[in-house]
Amino acid sequence: MFVYASETRPRLQGARLTAFELKMLNIPVTVIPDTAVAFLMSKSMIDCAVVGADRIIAQTGHVINKIGTLSAAVNAHHFNIPFYVAAPLSTIDLKKSVDEVVIEERPEDEVHYVGRTRITPKGVKALNYAFDITPPELVTAVITEKGVFKPDELKKFLLG
Task: Catalogue the active-site residues.
Answer: 54
Q: Are strands 83-86 and 141-144 parallel, antiparallel or unpaired?
A: parallel
**Full DSSP string of 58-116:** TTT--EEEETTHHHHHHHHHHTT--EEEE--GGGEESS--GGGPPPPB--THHHHEETT
Residues near 38 by Cβ (< 8 Å), separated by ≥ 6? 71, 75, 78, 79
